[in-house]
Amino acid sequence: MAEPVNWQSGKNGGEILTEKISSFQLSILVANFLFTGVIISLPQVLAESSNQVSWLSPLVVLGVISGFLWLVVGKTKQLQRLSKTFLLGKPTKLERVFLVCFGILFITAAIRDLRALIDFVATVLLPTTPIDVMSILAGFIVIYMAAAGLEVIARVTVIQFITLAAVIIALPFMLMNGMELGNFQPIMDVDLLPGLAKSSFLLLSWAGEAIFILILIQNLDDVAGAKKATVRGIVVAMCLFALVVAVEVAVLGVDIVSVSSYPSLQMIQQINLTDFLDRLDLVIVTIWIPCFIAKIALDVYLVNRCLTSGKKQPNNIIIIPLGIALAHLSVLLFRNNTEHIEFSFYTWAVWGLALELLIGIIFIIRRKIS
């Protein structure tokens, strides 16, 4: 087992652990991480699989992932003990395997998310700008934010996410005149259960990304509150997502949601309070994009933590080439947005889930050893 190292007074690499975030900030980081990625295109495949009950899948997944993370994080005293030794100093073999799996998971997530941002901006906002240019610009923004550190990411996320959450909660009121509750029927139908199971499975790996908190245990002010904070974040994210999907089904109907690449955008285009408050879609996109960039910045930060864990050199030394590489890969690895969507919907469901389960199991073993 690695000896606890007093990194507070250490040179160079010691600054990682002087960054502290509160339980509230952790909840918001988790909520933002889970919510901002799923609302882009995922409602399409959920509606395709489970039709009018697709809004129930986030609530099903909420229970499963909360339970899984509760199990993985374990008892509070054990976690507090582990926080003094886990990934501190030279990593053990088990910790190395943990870091490799963690790194692969979040490298793939970062590439997927960067491409999602680029495709959205290219389709909706800037259709003639080459995606390579967009990937460079997106890469720079993300590097700048990730290099600033965890505290900066947390602060930006708190400010932006609370605004986004307020807008999402206001959506049913803004779209009340366009909602048709008949679109939810028939609701109690046993035939819908297999579809609901399928859509819940597709969503599991996205919600399971909350496992990122395991690498941030040493950065928490209140380690004892980590479990509750994580579950709070998952609850907020999945409830907001359920609300978004429900409003989409109510306003647009299952048939339109299941064929739209960006059903959430289609939905907010229907906001028509009066002739004056007619085109709020760009306003809402402007609120969402900083949240999504904060999520991708956290992705890159986590990968950087993996790669520099246990090393004594400055932790930001590789963040620039890492960010540039990820931005480039996001364009190179997917030929077009259809390939990216296929990866996001179907490949990620298995790939992400497998890695998350593996990471969880390794952490449990590491916890037991300590």
Q: Does 269 bind another protein (CB under 8 A)?
A: yes
Q: 57 or 260: whose CB is closer to another protein? A: 260
Q: What are phi and psi of 21, to 5 degrees?
A: -125, 155
Output the smallest distance, CB 55 to another protein, in A. 16
- Cα(204)–Cα(342) distance, rounded to whole angstroms? 16
Q: What are phi and psi of 164, to 5 degrees?
A: -60, -45
Q: Does 123 bind another protein (CB under 8 A)?
A: yes
CA gyration radius for the chain? 20
- Cα(267)–Cα(178) distance, rounded to whole angstroms? 10
Of 12, 18, 78, 129, the one binding another protein by CB under 8 A: 129
Q: Does 147 bind another protein (CB under 8 A)?
A: no
Q: Does 17 bind another protein (CB under 8 A)?
A: no
Q: Does 320 bind another protein (CB under 8 A)?
A: no
- Cα(35)–Cα(40) distance, rounded to whole angstroms? 9
DSSP 196: H
Note the maximum CA span of the chain.
66
Q: Does 273 bind another protein (CB under 8 A)?
A: no
Of 9, 77, 182, 336, the one binding another protein by CB under 8 A: 182
Using the contact rule CB under 8 A, the part of the chain among 86-94, 120-128, 199-207, 295-303 near another protein is: 120-128
Sign for the pseudo-dihedral over CA of 157, 160, 162, 165: negative
Q: Does 266 bind another protein (CB under 8 A)?
A: yes
Continuous segment of H or E residues that includes residue 109: helix 93-120
Binding mask 207-226 toward another protein (x if CB under 8 A, else -) reads: --------------------
Of 130, 176, 193, 273, the one binding another protein by CB under 8 A: 130
Q: How far does CA 220 lie from the centroid of its chain? A: 19
Structure tokens at 149: 């550190």
For residue 83, CA distances in Å to 22, 139, 188, 309, 314 come to 15, 32, 46, 14, 21
Of 3, 8, 93, 127, the one binding another protein by CB under 8 A: 127
Output the smallest distance, CB 333 to another protein, in A. 23
Using the contact rule CB under 8 A, the part of the chain among 100-108, 136-144, 233-241, 284-292 near another protein is: 136-144
Residues contributing to the site for another protein (CB under 8 A): 123-130, 133, 136-137, 140, 180, 182-183, 185-186, 189, 251-253, 255-256, 259-260, 266, 269-270, 272
